């Protein structure tokens, strides 16, 4: 019986070769990964079998390995959070936690105060934007991750924490011992009608970290509208930012149709976030936003969107310059990794990371006013002495 002749086309041969070569490449890559991770297993084995202390828990070693791996990325915002810290973080996002009330970040690789939260232990102790935290309870913050710093600063209500703080490079660092308290995050800290004649309203938005930020702001605007609001000052000074979704929703209150922010991922892919449909009818009247060096992250998204879409003016000083997007990735044991997945650009394509947003009208706080606030223990804030606020008021009155 004759066997049929089988013809194999060149295309089939190419496909088979590609498949085989593809598998070979995968196997080689896997082998390289296995060899690299083998070093980690060797190191763990040496510690387990030879380290002088026998009571070293595996989770401590694994957590330390993860922290070291993430620290090697040289990104202060990509960090590991242990199960306890992740549980605290979820509580924090819901608006309650115990601590001293400061938002911190990395500035020139130094743990730095972005802003104190108003009416908290840190605020009452006089913490300022730009303060450098050198030690926490005697432990140096050099090479310390943000997660470790947050974990050390927070604690049960009524307990104490001591921070060594450097304010000016030509001065000596100073110890601050604070008593931790329950911190209730209130996004809208202050609202009022500043000028009844011209119907100029004022709202201080202190954070975007609460999931209720959008709802609180809408309620505040509607409250002022009942009093005849015609022009608005939105104060984002010392607002350290928070949730991207809240920033987009709040930007959409002022921008009916327009770009809010672009994000660029690891492959250079750009995603554009447009304004979204919101419950509140758009605020279309004149708007001024106050910013300063403590305005960061989501605050900068809102400020950039308003400025680029021609929806308002920015008054104050250069913002902080934190333009990266983090995702929270829970792990199997209740811990999590906060990983930077993208950087963001303002609608006009500007990368503000480590640079910040420039206001339309630069208004500096006089040095004499700063020194008075720092040196006078009985100093009280006065709207009349707030030169940035007064500039915004004068601008809106001229309209």
Task: For residue 326, indicate whether it is catalytic.
Answer: yes
Greatest Cα pair distance, the chain, in angstroms, is: 109
Q: What does the alpha-carbon distance between residue 155 and residue 99 come to, in Å, rounded to a whole number?
A: 6
Q: Are 271 and 248 in contact (CB under 8 A)?
A: no
Task: For residue 297, indicate whether it is catalytic.
Answer: yes
Q: Which of the following is catalytic: 148, 191, 252, 297?
A: 297
Q: Which of the following is catalytic: 256, 274, 313, 326?
A: 326
Task: For residue 322, indicate whether it is catalytic.
Answer: yes
Q: Are 173 and 164 in contact (CB under 8 A)?
A: yes
DSSP bridge pairs for 259: 274
Q: Which of the following is catalytic: 299, 322, 335, 388?
A: 322
Active site residues: 297, 322, 326
């Amino acid at each position: 019986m004759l066997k049929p002749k089988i013809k194999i086309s060149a295309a089939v041969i190419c496909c088979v070769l590609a498949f085989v070569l593809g598998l070979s490449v995968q196997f080689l890559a896997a082998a390289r990964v296995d060899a690299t991770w083998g070093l980690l297993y060797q190191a763990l084995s040496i510690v387990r079998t030879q380290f002088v202390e026998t009571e070293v828990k595996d989770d401590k070693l694994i957590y330390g390995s993860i922290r070291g791996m993430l620290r090697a990325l040289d990104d202060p915002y990509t960090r590991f959070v242990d199960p306890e810290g992740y549980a605290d973080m979820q509580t924090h996002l819901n608006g309650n936690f115990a601590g001293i009330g400061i938002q911190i970040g990395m500035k020139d690789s130094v743990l730095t105060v972005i802003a104190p939260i108003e009416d908290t232990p840190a605020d009452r102790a006089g913490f300022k934007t730009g303060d450098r935290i050198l030690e926490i309870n005697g432990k140096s913050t050099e090479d310390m991750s943000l997660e470790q710093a947050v974990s050390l600063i927070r604690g049960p209500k009524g307990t104490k924490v001591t921070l060594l703080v450097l304010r000016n490079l030509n001065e000596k660092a100073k110890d601050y011992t604070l008593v931790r308290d329950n911190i209730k995050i209130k996004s809208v800290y202050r609202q009022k009608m500043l000028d009844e004649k011209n119907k100029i309203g004022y709202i201080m938005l202190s954070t975007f970290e609460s999931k209720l930020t959008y709802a609180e702001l809408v309620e505040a605007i509607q409250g002022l509208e009942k009093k005849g609001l015609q022009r608005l000052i939105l104060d984002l000074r010392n607002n350290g930012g928070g949730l991207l979704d809240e920033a987009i929703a709040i930007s959409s209150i002022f921008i009916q149709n327009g770009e809010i922010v672009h994000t660029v991922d690891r492959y250079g892919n750009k995603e554009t976030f447009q304004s979204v449909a919101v419950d509140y009818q758009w605020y279309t009247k004149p708007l001024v936003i106050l910013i300063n060096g403590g305005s960061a992250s989501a605050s900068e998204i809102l400020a950039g969107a308003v400025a680029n879409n021609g929806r308002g003016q920015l008054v104050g000083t250069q913002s902080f310059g934190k333009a990266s997007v983090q995702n929270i990735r829970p792990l199997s044991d209740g811990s999590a990794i906060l990983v930077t997945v993208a950087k963001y650009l303002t609608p006009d394509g500007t990368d503000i990371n480590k640079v910040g947003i420039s206001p339309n009208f630069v208004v500096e706080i006089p040095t004499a006013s700063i020194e008075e606030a720092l040196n006078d223990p009985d100093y009280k804030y006065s709207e009349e002495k707030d030169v940035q606020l007064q500039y915004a008021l004068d601008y809106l009155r001229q309209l």
